[in-house]
Amino acid sequence: MYETHYHRASSIQDAVKLRQAAGEGKYLSGGMTLIPTMKQRLAAPTDLVDVRQVPEMKGIGVSGRTVRIGAATTHFEVASSAELAAVCPAISGLASHIGDPHVRHMGTIGGSIANNDPAADYPSAMLALDATIITDRREIAAGDFFTGLFETALEDGELVTAITFEAPAKAGYQKFANPASRYAMTGVFVVRRDNGDVRVAVTGAGSNGVFRHKGMEAALSANWSPDALVNVTVDASDLLSDIHADASYRANLVKVMAKRAMAAA
């Protein structure tokens, strides 16, 4: 790791100020990707602004069907919140299968979505739940937030402070873990709202990161049942190929995981 300066922010305002004052600064919110990258000398921020202890960015609030999760809330806290599980157990289950216990006690939802690893779990949930990403300066719809591999709509210095969404009538998530890293080699989050709207978001498989599968959404809108997916085609041409899985296998997994997410919903 190259030399860096560590700052612990006390508030959102403090965090943004510290980040602005830094040369090549980075927010640190668990560091489950950033720290290993720095240790490999593949990233060299001059300053790290740790937002994990910022009080306004912590905790889960459920008001009726409206859920608000502070960006510095750990995966463990998301996984173990009874309030959240009562309205959206699918996201609790997703969080409970991220990494291992160490990761779940350090990593945060804000860190995960701001990093937008194409194999991360949360982006699929955000997209399928039509969540709103709240930053220090604005609100961004999930559909506009995730723009590519490790790319988001965040501007330089912009800090994710919370996410919010309306709990759906039904939701389910299933992932197929990469045998080595245990990241999602394919993960599918399905959501159905009371008004019949359906969203299907896929992570780990798309060559441009998380995406919605319109074909499956149409099929499930017509018939909310795993069987409705049987005749849906998943086009492999937009999917990732790597040493673990080629696009045709991932296309198969998208369908199988969608079916299993439906069964879990």
Partner 1 sequence: MGVEGIGARVARKEDKRFLTGKGRYTDDMSVPGMKYAIFVRSPYAHAKIRSIDATAAKAMPGVVGVLDGKQLLADGIGNLICGWMIHSKDGSPMKMGAWRPLAHETVRYVGDAVAIVVADSIAEAKDAAEAVVVDYQELPVVTDATKALEQGQPQLHPEAPNNLIFDWQIGDPAATDKAIAAAAHVTEITIHNNRLSPNPMEPRATLGIYDGGDEHYTCYTTSQNPHVARLVMSAFYNVAPENKLRVIAPDVGGGFGSKIYIYPEEIVCLWASKRTGVPVKWTSDRTEAFLTDAHGRDHLSKVKMAFDANNRIIGLKVDTVANLGAYMSLFSSAVPTYLYATLLSGQYDIPAIHANVRTVYTNTAPVDAYRGAGRPEATYLLERTMETAARELGVSPAELRRINFIRSFPHQTPVIMNYDAGDYDASLDAAMQASDWNGFAARKAEAARRGMKRGIGMSCYIEACGIAPSAAVGSLGAGVGLWESAEVRVNAVGTIEVLTGSHSHGQGHETTFAQLVADRFGVPIDSVNIVHGDTDKVQMGMGTYGSRSGAVGMSAVVKALDKVEAKAKKIAAHLMEADESDIVIENGELKVAGTDKTVPWFQMALAAYTAHNLPPGMEPGLKEGAFYDPANFTFPAGCYICEVEVDPETGVTKIIQFVAADDFGNIINPMIVEGQVHGGLAQGIGQALLENVHYDPENGQLLTASYMDYAMPRADDLPSFKVSTSNTPCPNNPLGIKGCGEAGAIGSPPALINAITDAIGNNRLTMPATPQKVWAAAHAAN
Which residue lies nearer to partner 1 by CB, 82 or 243? 243
Handedness of CA 115, 118, 121, 126 (dihedral sign): positive
Q: How near is the Cβ of 6 to partner 1 at its closest, in Å?
A: 15
Which residue lies nearer to partner 1 by CB, 147 or 225? 225
Dihedral, CA of residue 140, residue 134, residue 20 and residue 119, to nearest 10 = -70
Q: Provide the token pair at 130.
A: 């039509």
Which residue lies nearer to partner 1 by CB, 40 or 237? 40
Which stretch of DSSP H or E encloses residue 101?
helix 101-106
Q: How near is the Cβ of 87 to partner 1 at its closest, in Å?
A: 30
Handedness of CA 39, 44, 46, 50 (dihedral sign): negative
Which residue lies nearer to partner 1 by CB, 36 or 143? 36
DSSP assignment, residue 118? T
Q: How near is the Cβ of 245 to partner 1 at its closest, in Å?
A: 5
Q: How near is the Cβ of 247 to partner 1 at its closest, in Å?
A: 11
Which residue lies nearer to partner 1 by CB, 85 or 177? 177
Q: What is the largest CA-CA distance in the chain?
A: 56
Report in angstroms the alpha-carbon separations of 127 from 3, 17, 40. Answer: 37, 30, 31
Using CB under 8 A, list all residues that contact partner 1.
1-3, 40-41, 176, 179-181, 183, 243-246, 249, 252-253, 256
Q: Measure CA 128 to chain center.
A: 10
Which residue lies nearer to partner 1 by CB, 87 or 190? 190
Q: How far apart are CA 41 and CA 88, in angstroms?
A: 39
Q: How near is the Cβ of 96 to partner 1 at its closest, in Å?
A: 15
Q: How far apart are CA 189 and CA 197, in angstroms?
A: 14
Q: How near is the Cβ of 65 to partner 1 at its closest, in Å?
A: 34
